[in-house]
Amino acid sequence: MRWTLKPKPQDHKVIHLQETLGVSITISKLLVQRGIETFEQAKTFFRPTLNQLHNPFLMQDMSIAVERILKAVKNKERIMVYGDYDVDGTTSVALMSTYLQSLSPDITAYIPDRYAEGYGISYQGIDYAHDNEISLIVALDCGIKAIDKIAYAKKKGIDFIICDHHRPGKEIPDAVAVLDPKREDCNYPYKELCGCGVGFKLISALQKTLENPFEELIPYLDLVATAIGADIVPMTGENRVLAFYGLQVINSNPRPGFKALMLQSKKQELSITDVVFTIAPRINAAGRMKHGLHAVELLVEKDFEKAKGFAMAIEAYNYSRREADKEITIEALDQIKENKETNCKTTVVYEPHWHKGVIGIVASRLTETYYRPTLVFTKSGEKLAASARSVIGFDVYNALEASAEYIEQFGGHMYAAGLTLTEENYPKFKQKFEEVVTAQIDEKLLTPEIQIDMELNFSEIDAKFYRILKQFAPFGPGNLAPVFLTKKIIDTGYAKTVGVDDKHLKCTLQNGSKNPRFGAIGFGVGNKLELLKNKTPISLVYNLDENEWNGNCTLQLVIKDIKPE
């Protein structure tokens, strides 16, 4: 791993902020590194308020979308809420359908079948709407590239409102309204909302138009926070405010579906990381292994006993997902070795029998192993479908765009995308993608980087320091948990490996005889045990966390990497 120490912030800014806030110099440095230099900026950061949210009508087409929905409600039209089958899509559908049901009884929720229909808006979905006399579809977390499908719906007399956050193509679909902050002609101040976030802006605009109190929408923020965490959008601006208040809802008054899923977690209070690793994979498992509507059912259920039944079924899907994920990852790693492709700049693998629902997770696993832009293909009907994942700093969406001559359809983000192509084009595409990435990527991006906020001495770590650090949360891209470097550390003699296959490292570390000792846990760094033997001095990169055990709560270091001095 590459260790990169972030540039030191300017002294005069650090000192000014330290004097203004009355915090330690270390906390002041961390804040200035995050662009927080004034009292007002610090207040906004530490005390997010819902007043910081932008007026939803700043989004292009918002007035048109609101007008069309209210017209449909007034005329008793049937409305379909359509969303993708992942966490962002299913939470979006749960949010929008629940809200619209408070205005009209004629609301239908629809999630495409991952296997029969594929990603995004489908002709089958439009036909279903037509057969059921639905005249308006509100699509969430998809639709920005569905030019032909929106035109098909229009011919059948069905209007579309699109709420998306993916990058548009050259043409915008001819829908009644297209809400997407990434539209070039959209002046909405915050561009990084997830699909559920765009949906929340639409219900905010409806609430405002109906002159109903905004506070009635706060219970929906648990869905928005979960989507923000799961979709890995930046934890900045509006996303941070929405996630902050969404976590409060999850921890103080969770909806029955979340409460049922949280029975799996023994934690008293969930952080955004807990939501991403406890709630999100289970919501995702429904769409991966069975059908996304199962997740929507769970999320909208008001009866806790029924929600527990849905959660048990989803737990079974999650178990199947984990087993499939393990099996396919092993097969994919074997394929890479057999094809002697370990020196390529990309990882592209394909087996027709691989489960379409888990290829995205497998792509992430392969990226962790070989650390390069990765595509995992499987057979989907007559076509091949793939999930793409990238390394930090490299835009896989742009690389796919440059390889588009061999692709039928693609869409996504800088770090994650999906695509389909014909089987005959697979070898040509694989070669082209390797050429494009080789030409575009900076070699250093192929080695994982740890960005270190600052060097720290153990003497600077105490309960007060950590108490303030906790208030930097919720953490995510753009506001990651601070990473520290401490040198001249020795193990106190009790280091050991723990977990399956001795993958993890547990130890107690010391930095100077007069400084406090700290327990440390390193996930996936069990192979570093040798470096700690015989009290050999090491340099350590880590986060700070709390360890709850038998009712006791102590500070611990979460090891990211170790190097010999």
CATH of residue 517's domain is 2.40.50.460
Give the pLDDT score at 557: 97
3-state secondary structure of 565: coil
Cα 361 from Cα 280, distance rounded (Å): 13
Residue 302 in any domain: the answer is yes
Assess whether 114 and 208 both reside in one domain.
yes
Residue 320 in any domain: the answer is no
Assess whether 379 and 466 both reside in one domain.
no
pTM here is: 0.92
* Cα 347-352-354 angle, rounded to 5 deg: 75
Among left, alpha and beta (phi > 0; psi -120 to 50; other), residue 141 is left
DSSP code at position 306: H
Cα 194 from Cα 255, distance rounded (Å): 21
Assess whether 300 and 163 both reside in one domain.
yes
Cα 515 from Cα 501, distance rounded (Å): 33
Assess whether 151 and 165 both reside in one domain.
yes
Report the DSSP beta bridge partners of residue 110. 82
- The range of the structural domain enclosing residue 492 comes to 450-564
Give the pLDDT score at 232: 86
Q: HSE of 186 in the Cβ direction (CA atoms, 13 Å)? A: 26
Q: Are 139 and 118 in contact (CB under 8 A)?
A: no
Give the end of a domain, one of 312, 327, 358: 312
Cα 268 from Cα 264, distance rounded (Å): 12
Cα 177 from Cα 63, distance rounded (Å): 9
Residue 332 in any domain: the answer is no
Residue 42 in any domain: the answer is no
DSSP code at position 328: H
Q: In what order do the strands lie in the sheet with 177-179?
A: 107-110, 78-83, 134-140, 159-163, 177-179
- Judging by DSSP bridges, how do beta strands 484-491 and 538-549 pair with one another? antiparallel
CATH number at residue 307: 3.90.1640.30
Residue 380 in any domain: the answer is yes
Assess whether 396 and 487 both reside in one domain.
no
Assess whether 275 and 204 both reside in one domain.
yes
Nearest alpha-carbon partner for 79 in 13, 116, 134, 158: 134
Report the DSSP beta bridge partners of residue 542. 484, 559
Cα 184 from Cα 294, distance rounded (Å): 36
Asked if the bond preceding 234 is cis, omega within 30° of 0, the reply is no
Assess whether 190 and 278 both reside in one domain.
yes
Assess whether 271 and 345 both reside in one domain.
no
Assess whether 187 and 278 both reside in one domain.
yes
Residue 301 in any domain: the answer is yes
Give the pLDDT score at 514: 86
3-state secondary structure of 103: coil
Give the pLDDT score at 265: 65
Cβ-based neighbours of 126, under 8 Å, separated by 6 or more:
137, 149, 152, 153, 156, 158
Assess whether 390 and 255 both reside in one domain.
no
Written as one string, the DSSP assignment of 169-195 is: -SS----SEEE-TTSTT---S-----H
Give the pLDDT score at 264: 66
Residue 29 in any domain: the answer is no
Nearest alpha-carbon partner for 477 in 451, 438, 513, 510: 451
Assess whether 404 and 454 both reside in one domain.
no
Nearest alpha-carbon partner for 140 in 184, 201, 55: 201
**Tally of domains in the chain:** 3
Give the end of a domain, one of 420, 446, 472: 446
Residue 85 in any domain: the answer is yes
Report the DSSP beta bridge partners of residue 108. 80
Which of 74-77's residues contact partners 24+ apart within 8 Å by CB, and which partners?
A: 76/104, 76/106, 77/106, 77/134, 77/135, 77/136
Q: How many CB atoms lie within 10 A of CB 378?
A: 21
The per-residue pLDDT string of the chain (565 residues; one tens digit each, 9 = 90 and over) reads 999 999 999 999 999 999 999 999 999 999 999 999 999 999 999 999 999 999 999 999 999 999 999 999 999 999 999 999 999 999 999 999 999 999 999 999 999 998 888 889 999 999 999 999 999 999 999 999 999 999 999 999 999 999 999 999 899 999 999 999 999 999 999 999 999 999 999 999 999 999 999 999 999 999 999 999 999 899 999 999 999 999 999 999 999 999 999 886 667 789 999 999 889 999 999 988 889 999 999 999 999 999 999 999 999 999 999 999 999 999 999 999 988 777 799 999 999 999 999 999 999 999 999 999 999 999 998 999 999 999 999 999 999 999 999 999 998 888 889 999 999 999 999 999 999 999 999 999 999 999 999 999 999 999 999 999 999 999 999 999 999 999 999 999 889 999 988 999 999 999 988 889 999 999 999 999 999 988 899 999 999 999 877 778 889 999 999 999 8
Assess whether 130 and 272 both reside in one domain.
yes
CATH number at residue 368: 3.10.310.30
Q: Diameter of the chain by CA atoms? A: 79
Q: How many CB atoms lie within 10 A of CB 513?
A: 7
Give the end of a domain, one of 269, 293, 312: 312
